Amino acid sequence: MRTNVFSLSILCTFILSGCGSGSAEQPAPHPGPITAGEHTRVDTQYGTVEGYLDDDVYTFKGIRYAQAERFMPPQAPDKFEGVRMCKLYGPKAPQMNSLVWRDDTQRDYSFGNQFNIEAMSEEDCLVLNVWTKGLNDGKKRPVFFWIHGGGFNDGSAIDLDCYEGRALADKGDIVTVSINHRLNVLGYMDLSFLGGKYAQSVNLGMQDIVKALEWVRDNIEKFGGDPNQVTIAGQSGGAGKVTTLQAMPSAKGLFQRGIIQSGSFRRITSGEYGQQLGRTFLEELGVKPAQAESKLGTFTYKELRDAGNRAIAKMKAAPGERGGFCPFLDGTVITEQPYDPETATLSRNVPIMIGSNFNEFFFDISPQKTEEEVLTTLTERMGAEKARQFMEEFRKVYPDKAPKDMLYVDTRVRNNTLRIADAKSGMGEKVYVYHFQWIPENNVLGASHGMELPFMFNNVARQREMTGSSESAYRLADIVSDYWISFIKTGDPNTKGRPVWEPYTPDGGASMVLDNTCGTKRSHDKVLVGLAQ
């Protein structure tokens, strides 16, 4: 059973409301029945699974796509006989920071972040969920493959209710897939330097995701999907995983498009750092390399996690490269930098949609400020001359914004977004850039990190603490989900009846601004973003 929790945790989500013209009403409850039985069964490569039919969307939860021993690469799951019930979400990976009840002064902030508390399992977390409108019907629907956020440490396929894939599958007649995979010390500790049994023990969380994509390739046709029309997508840490997959030989050909939301991950930590982190980790455990095979299985998850944290802290205290639990450029599993300085050769001819939000990690929680107060703060950040230039440019770009918004506009994530777009489009490849600026009424969080999630999933009703229930919120969700569905189907977000979304080029700099009035702006904030770097 999952329980909602107020939390101001981790890289994931917040609030919202509206875009476009016309009117929109809250959707009526689904009128159809929920049924199950032989008509909701699918014969996968590994055995028969039974889901349920929710009105006209077949739903499968907790399908095992792989299995793995601790610190070992994932393997195909065991085949089974009989029928396996897949009607409940499976466990998530053990987490660095379990979500807990918070009672602090930032109650509005906490209220906007209602994560779910879920079961965790080291052994059984390699599971996925599927939503589709047809089974074994010969119709090849495009596949939307969602990778959750939470950095490389936390999160799950349903830690936010808006991640449920039913609404997109229903509206777009696509197949929605979401996954859990290994995280933190169990997913991103490099032990490959040990050789032998551990020779491939690196980037295990990313290897898990590739294994899930292989499951899609081998099984999704029976769920009405097309294995040759797969869009990988993710937000925050999930977006970082999307970019990392584009630099992995084992993932090549398993997807055809990518969506990168507020997680512009251009550069991967070096393999040298990863191996040194692994050595330091063993030292913190008190395990000699020759003892690894016999001893690593004897520690609890908490002991492993704590030793990993100590190893990271020790390396951060020393001069040299900084890192943590993250992908490493090991040269075998990951062989290129995704977007630094150019697009990885492995991701050529893969169209991408990429964007960020107006506030991201700056939260609009302060009272109004005078321009003098704003200038003082900006001067502390960037010096007097740049501060004045920044304020002047901000007024040109955002003439309707209040002075305090100068303090809360994101430039870091936006800068990386534009650099990836420049690298990709500069090679003649298709890129579509968005800037999510919509702010919910009567809410203090602004267009913060994750604010776009209920809109692109068309799930405003499931995340009303974030979005509110205004007409403008439902109208914006209708438009944004249309753009996402069109890109999933064609590699181009443009769709009939919606404002034209121009492709990005280094010269044109087109971004689709998602707000109460959606439309393309060209290089509207490039100078502003540059001033803040």
pLDDT digits (tens, 9 = 90+) for 416-458: 999 999 999 999 999 999 999 999 886 667 899 999 999 999 9
Q: What is the pLDDT of residues 58-103, one digit of tens each?
A: 999 999 999 999 999 999 999 999 999 999 999 999 997 654 444 4
φ, ψ of residue 370 to 5 degrees: the values are: -80, 165
pTM, entire model:
0.92
Q: What SS3 state is found at 187?
A: helix
For residue 3, the one-letter residue type is T
Chain-centre distance of CA 70, in angstroms? 25
Q: What is the CATH number assigned to the segment(s) 1-268+326-362+429-496? A: 3.40.50.1820
What ranges do the domains of the chain cover? 1-268+326-362+429-496, 269-325
Question: Distance from first CA to last CA of the chain, Å, rounded?
Answer: 45
pLDDT given at position 507:
94
What pLDDT is stored for residue 110 in this prediction? 56
Task: Spell out a b/e string for 20-36, using b for 16 or more CB atoms within 10 Å of the CB, else e.
Answer: beeebeeeeeeeeeeeb
List of E strands, 204-273: 225-235, 257-261, 269-270
Catalytic residues: 236
- The confidence score (pLDDT) of residue 467 equals 87
**Cis peptide bond N-terminal to 341, omega within 30:** yes
pLDDT interval class at 29 (50, 70, 90):
low
Worst-scoring range by mean pLDDT, 21-35, 147-161, 272-286, 505-519? Answer: 21-35
Task: Write out the DSSP string of 286-297.
Answer: T--GGGHHHHGG
Q: Does 496 have pLDDT greater than 70?
A: yes
Three-state SS across 371-414? HHHHHHHHHHHHCHHHHHHHHHHHHHHCCCCCCCHHHHCCCHHH
Whether the Cβ atoms of residue 182 and residue 320 lie closer than 8 Å to each other: no
Q: pLDDT-derived band of residue 244, with 50, 70 and 90 as boundaries?
A: very high
